[in-house]
Amino acid sequence: MKNNIKDFSKYNTPKRWLITVTSLLFLLFISVLVSVSVGTVKIPFQQVMIVIWNGIAGIHQNSLYSKIILQLRLPSIIMAVIVGVALSSSGASLQGLFRNPLIDPYILGISAGAAFGAALSITMGFDSYQSFYYLPISAFIGAIIAVTMVYGLSYSHGEVSNSNLIFGGIAVGYIFSAIVSFLMFVSGPHLQELIYWLLGSFSDALWGEIDLILMPVIISVFILFYFSKELNLLTGGEDLAAATGVNLKLTKNMIIFITTLLTAIAVSMSGIIGFVGLVIPHIMRRIVGNDYRILIPTSAIGGAILLVISDTIARTIISPVIVPVGVVTSFIGAPFFIYLFRRSLKRMEVSI
């Protein structure tokens, strides 16, 4: 525990926090600016700034640039920011809760359940009518069902252990993945739409969808940040955390519920985009240390940066064809996951 406290104190200064967060926000701003500028139609940076500023000021614009920026590119980029924040903050919180750097919402079956709910909504044709509400609600219900199943499978001898939750999540994830595959088989005219959605994309994002999910995501991330002190104490183990006054049941239930909500929102809006909640928290942990008071907000910003860059690559790599964002993040995340897995194996060999 002394090592953890020493690590926290190293980064526990307002000046360091301000520099780190400001630098990441500046990098996010540059990423958004570049992403808005590039594409089939290249738009000068100055023109991008003018259009965005006029849009904020409420000035009516009817130019070609304004239509491309405000109706096509900016909604998808803002959606990428929101989804990146949701997935990365969830990944960081779950890794702290289970004290395992290989954990993310996908490992626990949360995303598979959310994907099932959203895929069922698409297959039944609900996405074509009032999709603002049907897809998020269906995804959340699917995620709740998945978490309930994971808890049911993991409950043993009057308690739910971390290892049981992980294995239960993997099992439930396989179950829902099989169901989604079956839905693809029977989806008929919705097959192409369902496949493209499952691969992950922001290309169809609308301002109405952003208005719907923005506040729930912001509030949820603040709740996760509120539990950062408990996550710090959990790094020393559950027994030590309980001895210092942490309500383990409340902490575990709240973090799992909030990460379920965030994952459901992300999946319903963008489809399945993997590895964001795994890769970014690990990178940020190398930069800012293990203090979750700074790790959660920096992971949130880092996730936004990664998905904005991924969306830019997806739109430009074989323009005018738009590659699903999930394909891009998989190319980035899969090698990183292998690297983390190999490191874990080496540590196990050393400990043995």
DSSP-assigned letters across all residues of 105-125 = TTTTTHHHHHHHHHHHHHHTT
In this structure, how many other beta carbons lie within 10 angstroms of the beta carbon of residue 76?
24
The torsion angles phi and psi of 324, rounded to 5 degrees, stand at -55, 135
Bridge-partner residues for 321, per DSSP?
A: 318
**What distance in Å separates the CA atoms of residue 44 and residue 235, rounded to the nearest whole number?**
48
pLDDT of residue 5: 40
Contact 299, 88 (CB under 8 A): yes
- List, for residues 199-246, the tens digit of each pLDDT value: 888 988 888 889 989 999 999 999 999 999 999 999 888 888 888 888
Q: Is the pLDDT of residue 157 over 80?
A: no
Bridge-partner residues for 159, per DSSP?
A: 156
Q: Is the pLDDT of residue 268 over 60?
A: yes
Q: Candidates 1.10.3470.10, 3.40.50.10860, 1.10.8.60, 1.10.8.620; correct CATH number of 2-351?
A: 1.10.3470.10
**Position 183, amino acid:** L
Q: Is the pLDDT of residue 72 over 70?
A: yes
Q: Is the pLDDT of residue 285 over 80?
A: yes
**What distance in Å separates the CA atoms of residue 288 and residue 297, rounded to the nearest whole number?**
11
pTM: 0.88
pLDDT of residue 302: 96
Q: Is the pLDDT of residue 292 over 90?
A: yes
pLDDT of residue 8: 47
- List, for residues 159-189, the tens digit of each pLDDT value: 666 677 778 888 999 999 999 999 988 887 8
Bridge-partner residues for 155, per DSSP?
A: 160
Nearest to 266 by CA among 331, 200, 332: 200
More confident residue, 140 or 32: 32
pLDDT of residue 1: 39
Q: Is the pLDDT of residue 4 over 80?
A: no
